[in-house]
Amino acid sequence: HYLTNRQERNSVNKCRHPLLPPISGARHGAPASPVRHRHPVAWTSIPPYISARTPRPNILITTAQPATRDSSLATTAHSTTVRRSLARAMAGGRRSGFAAAALLLLVFTAGCGAAPQGAEVTGLPGFDGALPSKHYAGYVTVDEKHGRNLFYYAVESERDPAKDPVVLWLNGGPGCSSFDGFVYEHGPFNFESGGSVKSLPKLHLNPYSWSKVSTMIYLDSPAGVGLSYSNNVSDYETGDLKTAADSHTFLLKWFQLYPEFLSNPFYIAGESYAGVYVPTLSHEVVKGIQGGAKPTINFKGYMVGNGVCDTVFDGNALVPFAHGMGLISEEIYQQAFTTCDGNYWNASDGTCESALVKIDSVKTRVTFSE
């Protein structure tokens, strides 16, 4: 759900990827004005692979001291809790099989005693051999008083991590886990179905991964999205400005945890509702640099793909876009333009709606990226 002007409106759940179950109300769309977002408690959204719905499950990395790199790991990675969670996930069908892969990822992290300072991921279920570069995962506390913690998964560049850019990736929604980007978009692996409802997916190297040339940080933001959480339930009703402030705090602390990347060029990137997340966070980063926030982030710019920024502006762009791409005829376009007077979003005129129905019939035959 999202709230604007104290009016709550239902929204369509667009985060339907099977790896991380979406939070209620996750969507791909932008409001016409700044909004507050309500993100229900994340742990009630992912019961297939986390059975203990406490704020800090014992299978996850903890960052009790976020300003240091000594992130501790629980010693109960192979506990009954984990085994039961995994058993339920594996028995739950293909969708839950992907969820089981996410659980095993965390178990691998927790169970590997050789990982430096407890943050390095040295193996992933479904992938044989050494990872193509170093992977790290964990939490950064952005609010000590509330116990608000953001989860990240970082992948070092396969080329030259000492010099290559660092890119923070944000998926949209609002409410979609950025782990979607790792799995479905530009992560280091392509995921192949395991072949049965109880088998894990197989992982193959992705030759087009962004981590070929850059160090990637996949961040679940705000608290309540993906594996990020808070000990204070009031934090699950949030807004764009608070999200940007928390993400900025995350970045400052992350670069304290990984100072070897501080001199690298840094970019912020995302898609869909990240059309809001990315520029608002970029604004916070620039303000921080100008205000002397430490450490100083080597911020170089931002990137947004198929971003949404404003409901009316974006909605009215669909018809001229379809016309410009040759998806609708000149006749259909002119009919819509004349009867709707260029206002296609939430049209109420009957003649205009009739013209838009023809355009919608064409759009149904085309897959639009969200």
Question: What confidence tens digit (pLDDT) does each residue in 122-158 have?
Answer: 999 999 999 999 999 999 999 999 999 999 999 999 9
Residue 73's nearest CA partner among 22, 122, 108 is 108
56, 74 Cβ separation under 8 angstroms: no
* Residue 41 forms part of a structural domain: no
d(CA 266, CA 90): 39
Judge if 214 and 318 occupy the same domain: no
CA dihedral (229, 280, 256, 158) in degrees, to 10, reads 90
- Judge if 298 and 329 occupy the same domain: no
Which of 55-69, 74-88, 210-224 shows the highest mean pLDDT?
210-224
Asked if residue 18 is part of any domain, the answer here is no
Q: Which residue has the higher pLDDT, 58 or 201?
A: 201
Question: Burial, 144: exposed, middle or buried (Cβ in 10 Å; 0-12, 13-18, 19+)?
Answer: exposed
Give per-residue pLDDT as tens, 99-127: 444 545 554 444 443 333 789 999 999 99
Do 201 and 316 have their domain in common?
A: no
Q: Averaging pLDDT over each range in 6-10, 26-30, 146-150, 313-317, which range is the top one?
A: 146-150
Is 60 within the bounds of a domain? no
The answer to whether residue 290 scores a pLDDT higher than 60 is yes
Question: Both 146 and 278 in a single domain?
Answer: yes
Whether residues 355 and 243 share a domain: the answer is: no
Cα-Cα-Cα-Cα dihedral of 124, 129, 134, 137, to 10°? Answer: 10
pLDDT for 7 equals: 26
**Residue 129, by phi and psi: left (phi above 0), alpha (psi -120 to 50) or beta?**
left
Task: Show the domain range for 349.
Answer: 310-369
> Phi/psi at 200 (nearest 5 deg)?
-80, 155
Residues 137 and 216 placed together within one structural domain of the fold = yes
Given 259, 289, 307, which residue is the final one in a domain?
307
In the chain, the DSSP E strands lie at 2-4, 7-9, 36-38, 120-121, 135-143, 148-155, 166-170, 189-192, 202-205, 215-219, 229-230, 237-239, 266-271, 299-305
**pTM score over 0.75:** no
Question: Are 241 and 333 members of one domain?
Answer: no
Are both 169 and 222 inside the same structural domain? yes
CA angle 179, 189, 86 (to 5 degrees): 60
* CATH classification of the domain holding 228: 3.40.50.1820
Question: Within a domain: residue 104?
Answer: no
DSSP state of 73: B
49 vs 60, 86, 219, 293, CA distance in Å? 12, 6, 20, 38
Residue 117 vs residue 7, higher pLDDT = 117
Is 29 among the domain residues?
A: no
pLDDT tens sequence across 266-287: 999 999 999 999 999 999 999 9
- The answer on 318 and 271 residing in a single domain is no
Percentage of the residues of the chain whose pLDDT score is greater than 70: 68
* Final residue belonging to a domain, choices 307, 335, 358: 307
- Average pLDDT value for residue range 9-38: 41
Residue 52's pLDDT is what?
32
User: What's the confidence (pLDDT) of residue 46?
Assistant: 29
In a domain, 146, yes or no: yes
Q: What's the rounded Cα separation, in Å, for the pair 26 and 16?
A: 9
Alpha-carbon distance 169 to 155, whole Å?
A: 11
Q: For residue 79, give every residue at least 6 positions away whose Cβ sits within 8 Å of its Cβ, in sequence order, or none.
A: 58, 59
Q: How many independent structural domains does the chain possess?
A: 2
pLDDT bin (cut points 50, 70, 90) of residue 350 is confident
Whether 220 maps to a domain, the answer reads yes
Share of the chain above pLDDT 90, in %: 54
Is 35 inside any structural domain? no
Helix (H, G, I), strand (E, B) or coil at 75: coil
Tokens of 90: 């594996």
CB atoms within 10 A of CB 217: 23
Window from 22-31, 75-84, 204-213 with minimum mean pLDDT: 75-84
- Does residue 323 sit in the same domain as residue 271? no
Q: Which of 290, 307, 324 is the last residue of a domain?
A: 307
Q: Which of 75-84, 225-234, 301-310, 334-343 has the lowest mean pLDDT?
A: 75-84
300 plus 314 within the same structural domain: no
Q: For residue 87, give the H/E element and its range.
A: helix 80-90
Confidence at residue 243, expressed as pLDDT on a 0 to 100 scale? 98
Together in a domain, 151 and 291: yes
Among 47-56, 113-122, 359-368, the range scoring the smallest mean pLDDT is 47-56
Residue 302 pLDDT > 70? yes
